[in-house]
């Protein structure tokens, strides 16, 4: 089995000047495509179960799926809880075999966010797994506005929580369907100057591919979360499959045709973050 913790894959990335893809999962077919893409590229992958995924499939089932997929390949696979909002979320993921917990206290006052994230980090480390936290708030396309990360608060957060990775808000937005924006590189430099831990970009689909590649190689950003970009590839392939055969109805047949396209898209994402 190649199951790994977040620290297992991000510390080498920090030292080696590259980043790892945190690929947002929704179901078995995309999870399998992501793991097969990582194996084909010879790269680690972080399988992420966010709130929408957990609303569809219970955490114990997701943990078993992630672990089963990790056993099929030779590359490191992280079973990661994305946006856990409560201690109960994180404890359930830990009990379900996850190897990494992301606690999101970014909507809370700084002191509360630090205290609660530190509690989750201690719980994770006691169990031999990793913890990611978020400082600043990453907003949503056509939804909540972002609140940029303050470098001084980031330094305090990293020091007092003991997280293994820190998600930051530097112009990134969740659920963005285009790459017309870009990240604030000056703010990134200011944050990385005051901490030594790996940095994480949520909403990575909205970051131009060239900038993702550049930042992966030249900064402490070691993890880009990619969801919307891959979901769009899934949707496009699914629509094309149904147009080709209007009478098709078998779910397994349809998804068997779609899965290779998801794998191609995932390979492209992972390759773009890898070391030269």
pLDDT by position in tens, the chain (length 276): 589 999 999 999 999 999 999 999 999 999 999 999 999 999 999 999 999 999 999 999 999 999 999 999 999 999 999 999 999 999 999 999 999 999 999 999 999 999 999 999 999 999 999 999 999 977 676 766 666 789 999 999 999 999 999 999 987 766 556 666 788 899 999 999 999 999 999 988 888 899 999 999 999 999 999 998 999 999 999 999 889 888 888 888 889 999 999 999 999 999 999 987
Q: What is the pTM of this model?
A: 0.94
Domain residue spans in the chain?
A: 3-273
User: What is the crossing angle of helices 87-95 and 110-126, to 10°?
Assistant: 20
| 84 DSSP β-pair partners | 103
Please give the Cα distance from 16 to 85 (Å, whole number): 32
Measured CA distances, 228 to 18, 22, 151 (Å):
22, 12, 28
- 82 is an active site residue: yes
Q: Which CATH superfamily hosts domain 3-273?
A: Aldolase class I (3.20.20.70)
Find the catalytic residue in 82, 89, 150, 164: 82
Residues 88 and 81: beta-carbon distance below 8 Å: no
Which DSSP letter does residue 148 get?
Answer: P
Q: Give the contacts of 57 (CB within 8 A, at least 6 positions apart).
A: 27, 49, 65
Q: Phi and psi dihedrals of 153, rounded to 5?
A: -70, -35
The 3-state DSSP class for residue 26 equals: coil
Instruction: List the beta bridge partners of residue 103.
Output: 84
């Amino acid at each position: 089995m190649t199951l790994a913790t977040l620290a297992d894959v991000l510390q080498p990335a920090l030292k080696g000047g590259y980043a790892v893809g945190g690929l947002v999962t929704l179901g078995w077919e995309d999870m399998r495509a992501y793991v097969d893409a990582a194996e084909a590229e010879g790269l680690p992958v972080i399988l992420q179960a966010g709130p929408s995924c957990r609303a569809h499939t219970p955490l114990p089932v997701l943990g078993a799926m992630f672990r089963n997929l990790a056993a099929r390949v030779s590359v490191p696979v992280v079973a990661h809880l994305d946006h856990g909002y409560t201690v109960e979320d994180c404890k359930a993921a830990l009990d379900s075999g996850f190897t990494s917990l992301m606690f999101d206290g970014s909507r809370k006052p700084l002191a509360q966010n630090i205290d609660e994230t530190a509690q989750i980090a201690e719980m994770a480390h006691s169990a031999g797994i990793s913890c990611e936290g978020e400082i600043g708030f990453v907003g949503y396309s056509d939804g909540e506005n972002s609140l940029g990360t303050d470098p001084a608060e980031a330094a305090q957060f990293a020091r007092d929580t003991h997280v293994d990775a820190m998600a930051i808000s530097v112009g990134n937005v969740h659920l963005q369907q285009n790459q017309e924006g870009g990240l604030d590189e000056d703010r990134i430099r200011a944050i990385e100057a005051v901490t030594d831990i790996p940095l994480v970009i949520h909403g990575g689909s909205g970051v131009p591919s060239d900038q993702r590649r550049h930042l992966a190689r030249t900064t402490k950003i070691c993890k880009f979360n990619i969801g919307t970009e891959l979901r769009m590839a899934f949707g496009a392939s699914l629509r094309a499959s149904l147009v080709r055969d209007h009478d098709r109805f078998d779910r397994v047949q349809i998804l068997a045709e779609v899965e290779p396209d998801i794998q191609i898209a995932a390979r492209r994402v992972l390759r773009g973050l890898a070391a030269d």
